[in-house]
Amino acid sequence: MRRLLFLIFAALAIFPNPAEVCAQRFEKTEYAARRDKLMAQHSDGLIIIMGAAARTDYYRFFQNNNFMYLTGVAVPDAYLVIDPVRRESVLFATLTEYIVRDCGEPVELAADPTGYTGITMVKKPSEMEDFLKERQKTFKKFYTCFQPEELPRECSNEKLRTLNRTMVNNIWDGRMTREMQFVANLVNRFPGVGVEDCSNTIHELRIIKSPAEIELLREAGKIGVKAHLELMRSTRPGVTERELAALFEYTCRRLGAQDLAYNTIICTDINHTNVHYHIYDRTLADGDFLVVDAGPDLGYYDIDITITFPANGKFTPRQKEIYEASLAIHEAGLKVFRPGIDRAQAEKEIAEMLTAKGFDMNSSLMKALRAGFGHYVGMAVHDVGGSPKVLRPGMVIANEPYTYFADEKLGVRVENTILITETGCENLTPGLPRTVAEIEKFMKNR
Ligand code: GLY
Ligand code: MN
Ligand code: MN
């Protein structure tokens, strides 16, 4: 009996309560504040945001990031209408049997639609056309998102480029994106109303993280770090990349992640040249050097971490050389990233700092390494907005100096997810062995 109780307690400690995992939503005031900021920027039009469509497969439904950002509502086929004159938001959502069976979400939605959204009006999507006709009397302009929605493991800008190539501009396909089809439908159904894009406004809002978002990212960071430690612990010659990728995902999900932020990247040997390689077709060999770039998605918030280390736990002199160069740039970045600094100034200060430490900034290695001033991180791993021009408090970016040497079958990347604070920056993903000595010690003692 005691043993049984122990096992139950142990299981509870390891596996978070499912309710907690699902309820990674913010206070309703947080969503209301986001909608308020959006209406303040578009007070001359009715804002209509389209949610993600019901899935056609058995994969779990995920809301798209913009809709999630503004509502916290994860039901398929929903629309959000924000009226900046009446200062009210209306949620149009269907509660079908399909959704109830597969997601369970509408039970919560039906029980208390205002409970977590702060939205007091909930209607059926079939009521939306008449509703918009009525509001058309007030507004001559509709705003909606022209840019592609982000679903799990998607990044808006990259998605648009791919859809343009494979669909919109492909003569054998030629369909519009879902969003541009929606724009066309609005234009056709509401002649005389101008339809304009509000994607960038939402993206600008998403770039600056609130205290609640930062807290969630910190939690996600802890999960990512633990998963990387598990992966390192199990790495040795003879282990397959597939096993390591599975272990990373297992650990993230066990600790409460709803998904991975992106397919776990494992680059070894000839695959270092494909910096986002995620095929897992190698068995690790003695002498292999791994770049493992992976992170969890916790409640729609992503983490971006890369570790680089030798499969056998001992760096060769060349592995050490390229690793320490990347780490030095990464660490200098942590010292110089602060509000007000731009990329050129950051690179100048990093170069000065490293020159003082004895690095030859004109060497081919230092020139090959890109400075760590990377992309935004948030609800997408390459988050909306691209890369920062000037850092501001509340921005979250990847510090990711990296390079590869194809002829040597080597690559390197030291990456953490970094928050810009009022005075400098904070590493949201601390706790990994990072120096060569720390990594070798960890690999020896694991
Ligand atoms: N995790 C993808 C990247 O760092 O670009
Ligand atoms: Mn990365
Ligand atoms: Mn990155």
Whole-angstrom Cα distance, residue 34 to residue 350?
A: 36
Domain 211-444, CATH number (from 3.90.230.10, 3.20.20.10, 3.40.50.360, 3.30.70.20): 3.90.230.10
The reply to whether ligand 1 has any atom less than 6 angstroms from the CB of 262 is yes
Q: What is the per-residue pLDDT across 308-321, written as a single tens digit (0 to 9) for each?
A: 999 999 999 999 99
Q: Angle at which helices 436-445 and 211-233 pack, to 10 degrees?
A: 60
The rounded Å distance from CA 393 to ligand 1 centre is: 22
The reply to whether ligand 1 has any atom less than 6 angstroms from the CB of 267 is no
The reply to whether ligand 1 has any atom less than 6 angstroms from the CB of 305 is no
The reply to whether ligand 1 has any atom less than 6 angstroms from the CB of 377 is no
Q: Which of 291, 373, 382, 429 to mutate to test the pocket of ligand 1 (most atoms within 8 A of CB)?
A: 382
pLDDT band at 57, cuts 50/70/90? confident
Q: Which of 248, 264, 302, 306 to mutate to test the pocket of ligand 1 (most atoms within 8 A of CB)?
A: 306
The rounded Å distance from CA 413 to ligand 3 centre is: 9
The rounded Å distance from CA 88 to ligand 2 centre is: 39
How confident is the model at residue 120, as a pLDDT? 86
Amino acid letter, residue 21? V
106 pLDDT higher than 90: no
Contact 417, 209 (CB under 8 A): no
The rounded Å distance from CA 397 to ligand 3 centre is: 8
7 pLDDT higher than 70: no
- In the three-class reduction of DSSP (H, G, I as helix; E, B as strand; rest coil), residue 375 is classed as strand
Q: Where would I find the beta strands (DSSP E) of 155-302?
A: 194-197, 259-260, 265-267, 289-294, 296-298, 301-302
How confident is the model at residue 54, as a pLDDT? 86
How confident is the model at residue 99, as a pLDDT? 60
The rounded Å distance from CA 378 to ligand 3 centre is: 11
First to last CA, the chain: 33
Nearest atom in ligand 1 to the alpha carbon of residue 262 is 1
Residue-range domain boundaries for the chain: 20-207, 211-444
The reply to whether ligand 1 has any atom less than 6 angstroms from the CB of 302 is no
Contact 42, 202 (CB under 8 A): no
Whole-angstrom Cα distance, residue 37 to residue 271?
A: 45
The rounded Å distance from CA 327 to ligand 2 centre is: 15
How confident is the model at residue 192, as a pLDDT? 94
- In the three-class reduction of DSSP (H, G, I as helix; E, B as strand; rest coil), residue 280 is classed as coil
pLDDT band at 83, cuts 50/70/90? very high
Return the structure tokens found at 422: 């009022």
More confidently predicted of 192 and 11: 192
Q: What is the per-residue pLDDT across 124-142, written as a single tens digit (0 to 9) for each?
A: 899 999 999 999 999 999 9
Q: What is the DSSP letter of 396?
A: E
Q: What is the per-residue pLDDT across 22-55, written as a single tens digit (0 to 9) for each?
A: 335 799 999 999 999 999 999 999 999 999 998 8
- In the three-class reduction of DSSP (H, G, I as helix; E, B as strand; rest coil), residue 266 is classed as strand
Q: Which residues contact 104 (CB under 8 A, 6 or more apart)?
A: none
Nearest atom in ligand 1 to the alpha carbon of residue 400 is 4
13 pLDDT higher than 60: no
Residue 233 CA, distance from chain mean position: 25
Q: What is the per-residue pLDDT across 371-428, written as a single tens digit (0 to 9) for each?
A: 778 999 999 999 999 999 999 999 999 999 999 999 999 999 999 999 999 999 999 9
- In the three-class reduction of DSSP (H, G, I as helix; E, B as strand; rest coil), residue 90 is classed as strand
- In the three-class reduction of DSSP (H, G, I as helix; E, B as strand; rest coil), residue 256 is classed as coil
Q: Which residues contact 346 (CB under 8 A, 6 or more apart)?
A: 333, 336, 337, 371, 373, 391
Domain 20-207, CATH homologous superfamily name and number: Creatinase/prolidase N-terminal domain (3.40.350.10)
Whole-angstrom Cα distance, residue 399 to residue 389?
A: 14
The reply to whether ligand 1 has any atom less than 6 angstroms from the CB of 293 is yes
How confident is the model at residue 4, as a pLDDT? 45
Mean pLDDT of 211-234: 98
Most confident range (mean pLDDT) of 57-71, 74-88, 312-326 is 312-326
Q: Where would I find the beta strands (DSSP E) of 325-376?
A: 373-376
Whole-angstrom Cα distance, residue 116 to residue 127?
A: 22
299 pLDDT higher than 80: yes
The rounded Å distance from CA 205 to ligand 1 centre is: 22
Q: What is the per-residue pLDDT across 341-377, written as a single tens digit (0 to 9) for each?
A: 999 999 999 999 999 999 999 999 999 997 778 999 9
How confident is the model at residue 104, as a pLDDT? 62
Mean pLDDT of the chain: 92
Polymer length in residues for the chain: 446
